């Protein structure tokens, strides 16, 4: 496993590589990340994993500062997975150049998380666009837990005619149903129990023929969920709100447990 901390050294090493599988991360690696990496290895291409906590996608400085970091553990995980290349750039390496492609932000960015996290998706697309230019991967692997982010990256790649294919990967969950997230490590034991209850409520509601979102919100609040940013049904093909649950729709939620913001879709 080769570790690069310099953009220029990485690009020099990649100059003759035509088929790269890329898994972008902000570190704090968990089983969700591991599933992305394992899927990327199935394509028999060199796998490159980035670790970069992008300051531009955080709305609050405190959230950026408190984001879990454990580089030593992350590198140990990546070594066991036999990842070929790890890229750990600094802020200057990523933001000191002008990308050839400008960021395309689809109108879907104003929905769901976009209503509550101003500038978040601009920050995400900004850094992903830069990574794609630096690495030029054949494929990029992204999780369905961050469905809105995945869609916006896909729209950007298509609009800008970037020669990278998105491979979407299913959401990986803990035994209690909670979707794996780096932020889960910030939850107390009691908060984990509440998050598990909320997942069970949503799973049960998802199976019903009709759903009353107002009543579901009440159930979530009674279970201990506070400050619900949104609980919405969206058609995943048209990217528009719906009032029905079917094979073309998903239930999307964002809520807080203490100061930890959790998102999910079922």
Q: What positions carry a catalytic annotation? A: 33
Can you state the angle between helices 147-159 and 120-135, rounded to 10 degrees?
A: 50
């Amino acid at each position: 496993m080769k570790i690069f901390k310099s953009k220029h050294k990485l690009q020099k090493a990649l100059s003759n590589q035509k088929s790269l599988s890329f898994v972008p991360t902000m570190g704090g690696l968990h089983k969700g990340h591991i599933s992305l990496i394992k899927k990327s290895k199935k394509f028999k291409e060199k796998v490159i994993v980035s670790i970069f906590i992008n300051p531009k996608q955080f709305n609050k400085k405190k959230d950026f500062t408190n984001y879990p970091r454990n580089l030593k553990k992350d590198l140990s995980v990546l070594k066991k997975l036999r990842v070929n290349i790890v890229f750990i750039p600094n802020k200057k390496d990523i933001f000191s150049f002008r990308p050839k492609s400008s960021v395309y932000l689809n109108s879907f960015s104003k929905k769901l998380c976009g209503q509550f996290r101003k500038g978040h998706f601009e920050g995400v697309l900004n850094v992903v666009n830069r990574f794609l230019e630096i690495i030029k991967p054949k494929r990029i692997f992204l999780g369905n837990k961050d469905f809105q982010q995945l869609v916006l990256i896909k729209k950007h790649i298509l609009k800008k005619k970037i020669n990278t294919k998105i491979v979407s990967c299913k959401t990986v969950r803990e035994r209690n149903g909670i979707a794996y997230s780096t932020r889960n490590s910030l939850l107390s034991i009691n908060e984990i129990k509440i998050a598990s209850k909320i997942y069970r409520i949503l799973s049960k509601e998802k199976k019903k023929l009709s759903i009353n979102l107002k009543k579901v919100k009440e159930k979530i609040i009674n279970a201990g969920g506070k400050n619900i940013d949104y609980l919405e049904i969206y058609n995943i093909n048209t990217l528009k709100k719906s009032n029905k649950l079917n094979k073309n729709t998903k239930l999307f939620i964002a809520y807080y447990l203490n100061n930890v913001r959790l998102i999910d879709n079922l």
